[in-house]
Amino acid sequence: IHSGVWGFASSPIVTEDEIRRITRMASEVAKASAIAKKVDVKLAPVAAYTDYWVSPMVKDPSTIPQADKQALVQKVVDLATANKEVLTVNANISLEHEWKYFASSEGSYIEQEIYTTTPNFTVTARKNGETRSRTFTGVPGTGGWEIAEAAGMVDAAERIAAEAVEYCTAKPFEMGMKDLILTPAHAMLTIHEIVAHATELDRIMGYEANYAGTSFVKVSDLGKLKYGSKLFNVTADRTIRNGVATIGYDDDGVKTQEWPIVRDGILVGLQTNRESAHFIGEKESRGCTSANSWRDYPFLRMPNVHVDAGPAGSPTPDEMIADTKDGVLIDGRGSYSIDQQRYNGQFGGNAFWEIKNGKKMRMVTNVTYNAITTDFFANLDAISGKEHWQMFGTGGDAKGQPTQTNSISHGSPWMRIRRIMVGAAFA
């Protein structure tokens, strides 16, 4: 920081001379940028840490023989292709290892190693002249090979193949006001777009606008805005085990934490970093700064954001279905679009089933629904308990210019949203 503004420069070369050079360059950038300054940068204080943090894991992927890794994926392919109407199977397990070292003028020296495992597969089938795909939504997580083993890819292979075939014969769903039952594998998409992005404080303040818009949320909404029904509780958490955005410290050197975003339907918290915390009167950062790599400017990125499970005695998924007369069950991630303020969106899924008079009926196709954020969650009238809560994740979440991507987890129970406009989507 020079003249009250940020200056940024980067280099992959770690020598004293290079550090001095890029420090001078960053200072010059800050001086030049000061001409456009509106207010001075104000940073929340942070403690100094000397620490080493590594993703908790049971099985280091580097110790697993390559043949064993290939065998797991091949088993999925073999089971799915046993169905003669299956055309292709694309199965993969992505294994990532990131090492980072953080040193700051605040006195912190922090080394971190992040291991991420992402299992996934898609089955494409053809029947009666129609070709359709069904995706197994794996549960990516920070951790080792145990994430892949626990994902249930092998157990799900035949079912996903059969659903891909059935999807080929599915008929379009009728338009109209319907009740939605959303699985956690689908709910993550809606949570991501109209809850998680909408509560990023830099987006709210207009610091993030060009790439994907700002937010309908205002700072003055804290403690007042009705975001949903009383069943709607949302938590941000960078510490939850296996969360894709779980880490020990953010890229400001702030120790990560858990905090509430929505309680009993009311907006109570936002995502902050050292630079933005003061905008809402908070004295400390929530630990949301991240950079894609050494070359990228660190800025506010979302943590893991979850919808909390219901209390003991909450309905099971089967009980929700039995209590629904006219609706649709939606699973997996599909198409989506969202306005520039995260308020009016349209979402689709990967698979859909009609619900009639309390029964799960035929598979249907090409379903989308409209979601006006606060109206949508105000119609939430049923959520399942913790035994049906699942955490899914998404990668490649883009933000900023130049664009950076990150990965996060979104956990959710099963949810029922009453009386939502459902329309047709194009295949």
pLDDT digits (tens, 9 = 90+) for 29-58: 999 999 999 999 999 999 999 999 999 999
CA distance between the termini of the chain: 50
Tokens of 332: 């997996």
Q: For 119, what's the count of Cα atoms within 13 Å in the CB-facing half-sphere?
A: 24
Which positions ≥6 away from 157 have C-beta within 8 Å?
75, 76, 79, 80, 121, 123, 136
Measured between alpha carbons, how far is 238 from 112 in angstroms, rounded to an integer?
14
**Confidence grade of residue 396 (pLDDT, cut at 50, 70, 90):** confident
Is the pLDDT at 426 greater than 70? The verdict is no
pLDDT digits (tens, 9 = 90+) for 225-256: 999 999 999 999 999 999 999 999 999 999 99
Confidence at residue 425, expressed as pLDDT on a 0 to 100 scale: 61
Share of the chain above pLDDT 70, in %: 99
pLDDT digits (tens, 9 = 90+) for 86-133: 999 999 999 999 999 999 999 999 999 999 999 999 999 999 999 999
Which positions ≥6 away from 159 have C-beta within 8 Å?
none
pLDDT digits (tens, 9 = 90+) for 284-301: 999 999 999 999 999 999
Chain-centre distance of CA 315, in angstroms?
25
Task: Give SS3 for 153.
Answer: helix
Domain topology for 52-169 = PmbA/TldD fold (3.30.2290)
Q: For 110, what's the count of Cα atoms within 13 Å in the CB-facing half-sphere?
A: 23
Q: What is the mean pLDDT of residues 420-425?
A: 83
The length of the chain, given as a count of residues: 427
**Confidence grade of residue 391 (pLDDT, cut at 50, 70, 90):** very high
How many CB atoms are closer than 10 A to CB 368?
A: 24
Is the pLDDT at 183 greater than 90? The verdict is yes
The residue whose two tokens read 């809560």 is 389
Confidence at residue 424, expressed as pLDDT on a 0 to 100 scale: 66
Q: Using alpha carbons only, what angle is made at residue 306 by residues 289 and 247, rounded to the nearest 5 degrees?
A: 35
Q: What is the dihedral of CA 167, 168, 173, 178, to 10 degrees?
A: 10
Using a 10 angstrom Cβ sphere, with 0-12 exposed, 13-18 middle and 19 or more buried, the burial of residue 68 is exposed
Confidence at residue 423, expressed as pLDDT on a 0 to 100 scale: 86
Share of the chain above pLDDT 90, in %: 94
Average pLDDT value for the chain: 96
Is the pLDDT at 70 greater than 60? The verdict is yes
Cα→Cα distances 196→229, 331, 408, 409, Å: 17, 20, 10, 11
Confidence at residue 184, expressed as pLDDT on a 0 to 100 scale: 98
Is the pLDDT at 410 greater than 90? The verdict is yes
Confidence at residue 427, expressed as pLDDT on a 0 to 100 scale: 45
Measured between alpha carbons, how far is 149 from 202 in angstroms, rounded to an integer?
38
Task: Give SS3 for 168.
Answer: helix
Confidence at residue 366, expressed as pLDDT on a 0 to 100 scale: 84
Chain-centre distance of CA 101, in angstroms?
25
E runs forming strands in 162-311:
171-172, 176-182, 234-237, 258-263, 266-267, 289-290, 299-300, 304-307
